Every structure is written in structure tokens, then in C-alpha cells.
Structure 1
Amino acid sequence: MPVSRTASEPLDLLSGGSDALRPLAERMRPRALDDMVGQRRLLAPGSALRRAVEAGRVHSMILWGPPGCGKTTLALLLAQYADAEFVAISAVLSGLPQVREVLSQAQARFDGGRRTVLFVDEVHRFNKAQQDAFLPHIERGTIVFVGATTENPSFELNSALLSRCRVHVMEAVSADDIAIALQRALDDAERGLGGRGIRIADSALRELATAADGDVRRALTLLEIAADIAEGEAGEITEASLLQVLADRTRRFDKGGDQFYDQISALHKSVRSSNPDGAIYWLARMLDGGCDPSYLLRRMTIMAVEDVGLADPRALEMALNVWNAFDRIGAPEGYIALSNLAIYLASTAKSNASYMALRAARADIAALGTQPVPMHLRNAPTRLMKSLGYSEGYQYDHDVEGGIALDQTAFPDEMGERVYYQPVARGLEIKLKEKLDALREARAQACKQRGVR
């Protein structure tokens, strides 16, 4: 069902219930543009959108951004500043009959001299026919259409609707800005947690803000859960309670006996230690104990990727070939193929550089959140995306002297170039290290000359 309110009512999508029953994220929804966190580019003082909103001259638009960045809040504020009726529908819950009913009501208001801001959440989920239903009403001014989407509107919305709306790109909210929103919730005694005596260290507050990954709503939800736990701990959100809130709730269960997993661990560590005799012993033990050969093949393929890596790329090829051979010839002759693989994996050069590189990159992602892709690295298959600056400044490496655009960064702008992959001086990686060391030095010099981080 659509949700409707007048501009004089509180900014509350769930009006009609007790404040105590509403989520903290809803209670703390901003009541003015200055209360919004993030979106400094879009809503900066003097910006075109801000001037239009503050003057009450709102236009139909598409708000494109990640969850929790403020799309719904901005739509509510548009209605408030324009002194218009706010109506919200969800493309997930509403069909064409509901859309027609909302548009009919908007027409009646329009005839009576009042505008309607129609907010359509997840507008990308509407099909072409449903999207087309809005077009004549947007053209006549019956409604100010505000569509919210987390998907690229170039692909998800039809061109007729796009041509009648301005696309505003909203960004994930930074951890610093989310921390501001969290502190406001802690201090606000009217709508927030200010009257509950909740205490939290600055470092823990920052950890909550970072864990939200750009989503203010998620951050406030996490804070509310932490506050509920803290009430049983004298009002303090401790590191232990924070771990409960942020912990991955999925758990793995050991379905086999300890001895089974001890033996596969022994086989893996024998291979890693380049001890082929130990590897054969533990392989034989497991086969003798009735272990499924397909399980052993899977684990040894993992060893080829994780422990041998690029020091000897042939190891992965051999693992896959042995797996294929065993499927064709079966036991007991197939056990010889497993033996060949175990001996080769244990005897060849080892490197976990690729594994460590992935871990380092994932650690940066966990620490820095969802950094935007630099404009020059984005694809621009549509006119809208080109007008937004997608792919601007990209250098096509094949057209550059030497075949590599050395001064072109491959990382988000806020990060600068990073080094994750550190080849070891073993096996094939000896040559890889020589090449990459020279290439990285040349890139550093080229970026320095151009003033690129």
C-alpha cells in the first residue's frame, strides 16, 4: 500500500505508531538538508539541486545510489521544502493497479491546487509498462516523480522515463560521516539514545561506522542492537558486545572425526614442507581408511593453488589432469595418479604470494569499505554514462608506446597505487619478480612525473 503524508507532518514513513516501537534509523531520519550526512557534492551549499530544493522548485528525478545513502530521506525533504504531499510506493510490493490508484489520487490533488511528490523505491524493478504509466503525469506536472534505484538506470529504466527525469548520483556515505550520524543518535534524547546512558569508546564507534560500509541505516541498526546489549552491561558498549553485533553469524560444523581432519592436515603440511615421503605416507593412510578419492583430489588441487601457486603453474594443470584421469580409470590404478600428484606437489617449488596478495587486498577492502571505481576505469556504453564522465581520460594501453600506460592508476582515487603481490625467489616467480620489480619502478616514476598518487 502507498504511504502518504502532508508536508506539515513529521518526516516519518511509518507514521501512526509509538516512537518507542520504531527503529532508531527511522526515528533519526533527518528533518532538514543540513541534517543529512554525506552527499556533499550533490547537496553542497550553492549547488544546483540544493538551490532548487530550498526554493521549493523540485523536478522529477532518479536518485541512483547504494543502500542507506539517503535516497528516501532526500525524497521526503523534497516534499517538505516544496510543501507537497509525499506518497511512497515500492516497486517490489506495488503492481499496475496500485500505481494507477496513486496517480488518480495525485490528479485529484493537482486539480485542487496541490502537488504530489511520488517516491518510487526500487524503481528498477518495475517493467516497461509500469514505468510508462508515469510518463503523462510527469509531463503534465501532476506528480514530481522521484525514483530510487541501486542499479544503473541506463540499463534498468526505459529511455522515455529517463528523458523526463534528471539523474542524480548519490554516493556511499563515508565512515567519518556515518560516525557523525551515530554520535547524533547517541546524543539525541528526543529521538535517539540520549536518555539511555549508553557509552561507547571513540574507537568502537569508528568500528561500527566502518562496518556499515557506507550505509547509514545499517550503522544505526547496528548501534541500536549494541545499545540493547549494553543495557545489560551497565550501559557500556564493550569490545566483547561489539564483537557479538558485528560477528559473522554463519558457523561451520565439523561433520567428521578429529582423526580424519588431523590426517588431511598432515598431508597438506607434508606437501607444504616439500616432504614427498611424508605426503605419500599420509595419502596412503587416508586411502587405507576409506577416504573418498574425490575429496583428496579436491584438497590436493587446493594445495596446487594455495601452496605451489605461480612458482609452478604446471601444478594446477597436473592436479586437474589427475582428477580427470581418476574419473576415467577409477581405483585401484587411479591411486597411482594420486601418488604422482602428491609427490609432484611436495617436490616442486612453493609460493603463497598469490594467496597473500589476495589477503592483503581483502584487508584493504575491509578497512576502507566500498571505494568508488575511478571515472577513467568505468565503462561508458550509454550517453548518460558518458555525460557523467565515465571512461573520461582512459588511456588504451595498446595505443601507448611500450604497450603499457604506466602513469594510469588502477586503484580508487583515495587509495593510490598499492603493492599486494610479492613474488618469491623460487621457481617461475624468480622471472616474474624481475619483471614486476622493473615495471613497478617504471610506473612509480611515471606517476610521480604526472603527479598521480
Structure 2
Amino acid sequence: MMDLFSDQETESSFIPLAARMRPQSLSEYVGQTHLTGDGKPLRKMIESGRCHSFILWGNPGIGKTTFAQLLSHQLDIHFITLSAVMSGVKDIRSAVERAKQNTVLTGKQSILFIDEVHRFNKSQQDAFLPHIEDGTFLFIGATTENPSFELNSALLSRARVYRLKTPTVDDVKSVLLHALTDEVRGLGKRRIQINDHYLDVLARAADGDIRRALNFLEIVTDLAENDQVDEQNIKDVLGGSFRRYDNKGDVFYDQISAFHKSVRGSSPDGALYWMARMLDGGCDPLYIARRLLAIASEDIGNADPRAMQVALTAWDVFERVGPSEGNRAIAQATVYLACAPKSNSVYEAFKKAMRDVASQPSYDVPNHLRNAPTSLAKNMGHGEGYRYAHSEPYAYAAGEVYLPEEVQTETYYQPSDRGLEKKIKEKMTWLKMQDNQSNHVRYPMPGGALYGDDE
């Protein structure tokens, strides 16, 4: 028996730590309490046994495959998996047949789990539809891309979408601590000595990827002499990235925050300093370029629409010429955005519109704004009374309303007095004056208000 146990232990040592530590119950599944906590949808589904097909959307390494396997284990049903990267129509047909055979043999439904489901083309995605509808299997797809853009509407209508959040540093650290103390699947028998700061370093360096964090931990502990982890072990694994997480410097996300706030605060010096700090710490320059695009929209907007183009051009230059000259292009864009006039009017207007749409009923599109491609649509009044702006004085249909009647007086975009938005504000003021002078009435105005008046 001792020899057999020794062989099994030796064999398991070849299994990566991340695979050994894969959660075996919901209590071990961290970072997704919004879905798996008490009373939350995925926990209720498991506890009730009433399952539906769904899509798990989230970054790599945060538990999409793990949850599908947990569900299979909890419900004691057959688990079939395909990777959209490696599979074709033949593999899909084979998986369908396996699911059918399992139903005949066991009387139970199977789970068909598709990793990277967005990699399947339209016809491949369509191949699942009849089998989802007739219950041949419970379909679970995993994707790192936005399902609204990458998956067919027909598939989305048959499967709910659950967004997995990026685990926090504390979530990742709890997994590392579990791996260090678990004597059956983890490293508990070795009694690894590692200080709390180094665990923070590894957890932050993983950037929300639990699998990556466990891989870091496994390599670090393999390098440690006498099972004592020191700073050199951490540096050997993380390389230059260690500096950004070192306790002598600032945490990476604090640096990103300082960079963003420097640009927003019109400080080119501060922005350049924090950009240099991030690059020195091993940050991907394109991460900074992406942040500049967000700043161009969120903090500058229409005060200087050129800011977004400048940021895009800097990204393009980096892709074409590489880091040496490309970093200078990103620095140039950083200075331009820092010196540009600032406005968050578009950002605030969009947030308000999204809040309203989420909280209000789905009002119908007014008839005069509806498309009328057929005679039937025209007979139903679609497009009736629409005023073609180019045929109106100043190419503006004064007094016309482009919102549903129930929210006709709502105002979202309110330009600032800075940069180009000052001109935009002047034009919008003039347009409202034309509206108030117009005799055109689309709907009765609540309380006799003039169109364009503030509420």
C-alpha cells in the first residue's frame, strides 16, 4: 500500500498546482459572489436543479471552465467539452451524438461546454440551436469577448449571459493562502515560508487571473531554498514587473490612477512622470494608449474632438514603428490630452441616458421616426409626417421632436463653455430659439412648456 500511495503522490506532482487547486465546491469558488452568493442566480440554479443554458463572459483565468465543471459535479451529469479554437462541425456532431447516447444510457441530460465560443462562426453557432431547444444538452459557452458583438442573436436568445467579475487582490490572495495550507491538493505538507508582502506582490502581479497567480506561486516555491521564499525568488519569476509592485514604489493601479488624474487635471508634467514610472515598471505601453483613448472620451469629449484622433494615431504609430519611437508618440499624445480643454459633458450625458433607459419602460419609437421600407409599413403610418431636415431652412426642422412623447422634454447633453463646446453650446442655444419660435407641434407639451425649455 505504501508503494502505491508513493506512486500516486509522485504522479500528482506532475499536475500543475492550478489544476490541483481547481475548486471542488461553491465554497472554494471565489470572486463571483454576485452570481454564486446566497440567493444569487447561479447558486439558486444549482440548489434547485432547474438549469438553463447560459454564457459565461469574463477575462481569462477567473473561473469560467471551473464553474461549468462544478455544475456538472453538483448535478452529477455527464460533462462534454469542446474548444472552439480546435473544433469544427464534425466535432460538434460527435458531441451531440455523445450527449444523445448518454441520455439513452443514463436518462440524464449532459452538459456541453464550449470554451472560447466566440471563435465559432455563424453556421457553427447555429448548429447548436435545435439541440438546445429540444434539451439534448445543457449548453454552456465561455467567452472573453462581449457576447453582444461576437455571438449570434439566435444563440443569445436561447442562453442567458452572466458576466464574471475580475477577482480582487484579496480574492486572489485567499486562493494563494489556501494553496499554501492545503495538504492534499496544495503545498501544505512543505510548510512553505513566505511573508505576507510577497503574497500581495504575487496576487497583484496576476492582475485578476487566478490561474496565473497559482502558476506564479508554484514557480516561486520551486525556486525557494529550504522552502523559504525570498525577494530574489519573486524577482526571478516576475522580472521587471516586480518593481511596480515593490513596497518601495507605488502599486500599479495607483500609478494608473495618478496618470489619469494628471491628464484630467491638465498637468503634462505629472502625466509624463507617471507614464515614465509605469514604463520603467514594465507596463505595456499600449495599456497607456488605451487609457488615453478613455480619457479623450471621458474627460475631453467635444471640447477638443481631435484628442481622440491624436490618441488613436499614437497607438497606430506604436504598432508601426515599435517601442522606441512609439513610446514617444504616446508621450506626445499624453501631453496633447493634458493640455487640451476639458469637458465631461458627453460622458455625463451618456450616463444619464443609460440610467433613464434602464429605469423607464421601453417606450415605442414614434411613428414619424419609424422606418417604412414596405407598403405595409407605410399603411401602418410608419414615417408619416417625418420632416426631412435638409429640406427645411438652415437644414433644421424647427420644433421637431426626436424623443418618445413620454420623455419629449428630457435634456441630456449640456455643453460646457470650454474649447469647441463653447461653439456647440452657442449653436444649440440658437436651435432652441428656433424651436420656441416654431408653430410646429408634434405632441402636446406637458404643462404648456416650450420645446427645449429646462425642466
TM range (shorter): 0.5 to 0.7
The structural deviation recorded for 1:54 is 2.0
Moved more, 240-249 or 179-188: 240-249
The structural deviation recorded for 1:360 is 6.3
1:229-378 to 2 correspondences below 5 Å: 229-230=223-224, 233-248=225-240, 352-359=269-276
The structural deviation recorded for 1:83 is 1.7
The structural deviation recorded for 1:57 is 1.8
Any conservation in 2 of the 1:56–1:83 contact (CA below 8 Å)? Answer: no
Measure, in 2, the Cα distance between the counterparts of 1:60 and 1:187. 36
* Residue matched to 1:18: 11
The structural deviation recorded for 1:77 is 1.1
TM-score normalised per structure 1: 0.55
1:103-182 to 2 correspondences below 5 Å: 103-112=96-105, 113-182=107-176
Any conservation in 1 of the 2:220–2:234 contact (CA below 8 Å)? Answer: yes
TM-score normalised per structure 2: 0.55
Amino acid at match of 1:115: Q
* Residue matched to 2:60: 67
Moved more, 351-360 or 237-246: 351-360
Measure, in 1, the Cα distance between the counterparts of 2:146 and 2:228. 42
Measure, in 1, the Cα distance between the counterparts of 2:81 and 2:117. 11
Classify 1:204/1:43 alpha carbon distance in 2 versus 1 (closer, same or farther; 3 Å): same
Any conservation in 1 of the 2:57–2:145 contact (CA below 8 Å)? Answer: yes
Any conservation in 2 of the 1:55–1:82 contact (CA below 8 Å)? Answer: no
The structural deviation recorded for 1:33 is 0.6
Match of 1:216 among 207, 210, 233: 210
Any conservation in 1 of the 2:349–2:413 contact (CA below 8 Å)? Answer: no
Q: 1:109-165: per-residue Cα shift (whole Å, max 9, x none)?
A: 223411111110000001111111110110011111100000001111111101000
Match of 2:414 among 390, 394, 399: 399
1:356-435 to 2 correspondences below 5 Å: 356-359=273-276, 398-400=413-415, 402=417
Amino acid at match of 1:355: L
Structure 1 unaligned residues grouped into runs of 5+:
1-16, 250-309, 311-350, 390-394, 405-453
The structural deviation recorded for 1:403 is 6.6
Any conservation in 1 of the 2:83–2:114 contact (CA below 8 Å)? Answer: yes
Any conservation in 1 of the 2:80–2:111 contact (CA below 8 Å)? Answer: yes
* Residue matched to 1:320: none
Query: What's the % identity of the aligned pairs?
Result: 44
Amino acid at match of 2:176: L
Amino acid at match of 2:170: D
Secondary structure, counterpart of 2:185 in structure 1:
coil
Q: 1:211-242: per-residue Cα shift (whole Å, max 9, x none)?
A: 00000000000000001101xx1111111110
Measure, in 2, the Cα distance between the counterparts of 1:87 and 1:155. 26
Structure 2 unaligned residues grouped into runs of 5+:
1-9, 242-262, 299-346, 361-409, 420-455
The structural deviation recorded for 1:388 is 12
Classify 1:360/1:388 alpha carbon distance in 2 versus 1 (closer, same or farther; 3 Å): farther
Classify 1:397/1:363 alpha carbon distance in 2 versus 1 (closer, same or farther; 3 Å): farther
Amino acid at match of 1:207: V
Measure, in 1, the Cα distance between the counterparts of 2:15 and 2:138. 28
Classify 1:32/1:201 alpha carbon distance in 2 versus 1 (closer, same or farther; 3 Å): same
The structural deviation recorded for 1:248 is 4.5
Secondary structure, counterpart of 1:164 in structure 2:
coil
The answer to whether 1:193 aligns with 2:208 is no
Any conservation in 2 of the 1:90–1:121 contact (CA below 8 Å)? Answer: yes
Measure, in 2, the Cα distance between the counterparts of 1:192 and 1:353. 45
Measure, in 2, the Cα distance between the counterparts of 1:211 and 1:388. 38
Measure, in 2, the Cα distance between the counterparts of 1:72 and 1:378. 38
The structural deviation recorded for 1:56 is 2.0
How many residue pairs are counted as aligned between the two chains? 275
* Residue matched to 2:73: 80
Classify 1:139/1:362 alpha carbon distance in 2 versus 1 (closer, same or farther; 3 Å): farther
Classify 1:50/1:240 alpha carbon distance in 2 versus 1 (closer, same or farther; 3 Å): same
Measure, in 1, the Cα distance between the counterparts of 2:237 and 2:173. 17
The structural deviation recorded for 1:41 is 1.1
Amino acid at match of 1:202: D
Secondary structure, counterpart of 2:138 in structure 1:
strand
Any conservation in 1 of the 2:349–2:414 contact (CA below 8 Å)? Answer: no
Secondary structure, counterpart of 2:172 in structure 1:
helix
Classify 1:219/1:357 alpha carbon distance in 2 versus 1 (closer, same or farther; 3 Å): closer
Amino acid at match of 1:214: G
- Higher RCO (CA < 8 A, seq sep 6+): 1
Measure, in 1, the Cα distance between the counterparts of 2:281 and 2:233. 24
The structural deviation recorded for 1:197 is 2.5
Classify 1:57/1:81 alpha carbon distance in 2 versus 1 (closer, same or farther; 3 Å): farther
